[in-house]
Structure 1
Amino acid sequence: MNQLLAIRAFARVVEAGSFTKAADSLDMPNASLSKLVQELESHLGVRLLQRTTRRVTVTPDGQDYYEKTALILRNLEDVDTSFNIARSKPRGQLRVDTGGSTASEVLIPALPDFLARYPDIRIDLGVSDRSVDMVSDNVDCVIRGGPLDNSSLVARLIGEATMVTCATPEYLKQYGVPAYPEELKNGHRLVAYMLAQSGRAIPFRFLRDGEKTEIKIEHRIGVNESNGHMAAGLAGLGIIQTFAYAAGAAIKDGALVEILQPWRPAPYPFHVVYPQNRHVPQRLRVFIDWLVETFPQRLNPG
């Protein structure tokens, strides 16, 4: 038995929660991975995983073994990296997930620079406003805006985006231009951004002189994807609150008009996040560093 390979195979099953997903991520036949885990269990004389037809769960012995060997794997990978980093270029596949407008307006336009710097890295980009399970979906990192609520992830701030409230000139001509946030409750139509996971509408938020205002009223239409949300605003369906980077071009050419500018919401933080129990390969390290360098300006274009 190749014990190191067996330990890596077992760790990937624990992280992915599935033999099939683990085998795919390791580019290994499912039967070969299963055999490695069985050999490891025989070598240790304990059952590490409980298998059923529908799921794989970690036994108490398996959890203990995973936590102890994970440290060994990370240390070994760090040693390998220290020897290789000086004479090798970052290479390989990088799986990244981000939201719709962040992908189309910020990340994708900037990617030519990254790929020119690191021609041996291949990007597989998942675009969705719905949260992904980073471990089971085998995603290397996720770029997301807003507060973080998962302590099992490592997060690094990569910038803050300006938020704007806007509508089409035709809408404002028909319904009037609100002078204060509270006026949104008086006959105005709002296009809500809906959280994809919960279906909850995010309230319109405002900030002036340190005082926060939050408007919670029934919306006429809700959209759970950022590009679709912008399209609804451009169609004149109502007032939207969105990122300046997404609405900037439309405001510049007059398709949208920013309103309530003195009450712009607080800057919206963006983070790159990745699992804390997974080794950070060189290709991910350079990508994160590039995001920190690139995103602040991209999130707030002049």
Structure 2
Amino acid sequence: MDKLRAMQVFVRIVEANSFTKAAETLGLPRAALTATIKNLEAYLGTTLLQRTTRRLALTPDGADYHAQCLQILDAVASAEAAFRGAAAARPRGTLRVDLPDAVGRHVILPRIAGFADAWPELALTLSFSDRLVDLTQEGIDCALRVGDLQDSSLVGRQVGSMRFVTCAAPAYLARHGTPHAIDALRHHQGIVHFSGRTGRPFDWDFVVDGRVVKAAQVPGRVAVNNADANVACALQGLGITQAARYQVRGYLERGELVELFSETPPAPMPVSLLYPRGRMGAPKLRVFAEWITALLEREPDLCQVL
């Protein structure tokens, strides 16, 4: 058995999440891939993939072996590139990226043509979601995420920091008054922004004398699970909210929203690029990580906090 070829076939099946799709991209009969995996599992003495009529799933041993395969194949590709010259190291193929909905549409998408023009041999597949994606099972090369990282099976590389602001529309403040103390928020209306993934409201916090202070839940009649909807409700005077500063900067400058508690802003959140272990050696992922880091560094509300 050609073990290196078997590793390549195994990784391609996992990326495609399908024997049939992997066979098409490799230009091989589906039966050949089935035989390869069967022989590989027999050689290793373990089951790598659990197969049903609808989907594939990695077993625990399969997930560990997949991570090792990625490292080995990346090492082989790097070694070959070192001898074959710069042309072999050019990013090519398809780069699949999952982006947070609001950041993706407002920050990344308006500038993505610059990246595409820089790397014409690279095709892009962009998805926009705030859910917890399974990069391996869904064949995604990397994902941009905001907040503390949860999945230890992935590598997280911080590429920025998102600043937030507490704000309200002038019409709301005219009707209800302007709160001057954090404790006063309990007597106001807030827009409840909850996670579409967990259903839990996002906490309100403030940095006071270098410490992060959690505020009591601000009551509200309107709840949304979308960042743009959160801002839209604030603009209509439905309550006070905490929102990403990059989303509301223009509204603040034009006076359509008013910043509150500017001396005690909410704590920033890390913006990280997530990818499976052993993948950063891939040229397509390396150039995207460099590009998005440089892009966020130019954004005053998203660059890393030093």
1:105 is aligned to 106
Equivalent in the alignment of 2:270: 269
> Which residue number corresponds to residue 77 of structure 1?
77
Q: How many residues matched?
A: 300
Q: How far did 1:59 drift?
A: 6.7
- The Cα offsets for residues 119-156 of structure 1, whole Å up to 9 and x where unpaired, read as 22222111112221111111111111111122111111
- Does the Cα contact within 8 Å between 1:206 and 1:264 map onto a contact in 2? yes
Could you say if the C-alpha distance between residues 19 and 228 of structure 1 is closer, same or farther in structure 2, counting changes exceeding 3 Å? farther
The residue number in structure 2 matching 1:226 is 227
Tell me if 1:209 matches 2:209. Answer: yes
Q: Secondary structure at the match of 2:180?
A: coil
CA distance in 1, matches of 2:25, 2:231: 35
Match of 2:92 in 1: 91
> Does structure 1 conserve the Cα–Cα contact (< 8 Å) formed by 2:67 and 2:277?
no
Q: What's the counterpart of residue 48 of structure 1? A: 47
- Secondary structure of the residue aligned to 1:298 is coil
Written as runs of structure 1 = structure 2, the 5 A alignment for 1:111-150 is 111-150=112-151
1:4 corresponding residue in structure 2: 4
2:72 aligned partner, one-letter code? I
Q: Distance in 1 between matches of 2:285 and 2:64?
A: 28
Q: Distance in 2 between matches of 1:298 and 1:81?
A: 34
Q: Cα gap change, 1:239/1:86 in structure 2, threshold over 3 Å: closer, same or farther? A: same
TM-score relative to the length of structure 1: 0.85
Moved more, 240-249 or 271-280: 271-280
Q: Does the 8 Å contact 1:90/1:283 carry over to 2?
A: yes
Give the stretch that moved more between structures: 18-27 or 4-13: 18-27
Aligned Cα root-mean-square deviation (Å): 3.1
SS state of the match for residue 173, structure 1? Answer: helix
- Label 1:23 to 1:204 Cα distance change in 2 as closer, same or farther (>3 A): farther
Which piece of structure 1 moves more, 32-41 or 169-178? 32-41
Tell me how far 1:17 sits from its aligned partner. Answer: 6.4
Q: Which runs of 5+ in 2 are unaligned?
A: none
Paired residues for 1:285-300 under 5 Å? 285-298=286-299, 300=301
| Secondary structure of 1:135's aligned partner | helix
Counterpart amino acid of 1:205? D
Q: Per-residue CA shift, 1:30-53, capped at 9, x if unaligned?
A: 4443233234456x3845346453
Q: CA–CA distance in 1 between the matches of 2:44 and 2:284? A: 37
Find the aligned partners of 1:81 and 1:2 in 2 and give their Cα distance: 21
Answer yes or no: is the 8 Å Cα contact 2:163–2:302 preserved in 1: no
Q: How far apart, CA to CA, are the structure 1 residues paired with 2:60 and 2:100?
A: 37
Query: CA contact under 8 A between 1:46 and 1:61: conserved in structure 2?
Result: no
Q: Is the 8 A contact 1:81 1:282 kept in 2?
A: no
Give the SS at the match of 2:37: helix
Aligned match of 1:192: 192
Q: Which moved more, 1:175-184 or 1:221-230?
A: 221-230
Give, as a single letter, the amino acid of the residue that structure 2 aligns with 1:290.
W
Mapped partners of 2:290, 2:18: distance in 1:
31
Q: What residue number does 1:238 align with?
A: 239
Q: Residues 247-278 of structure 1: CA distance to partner in whole angstroms, max 9, x if unpaired?
A: 11111222211111111012221111101144
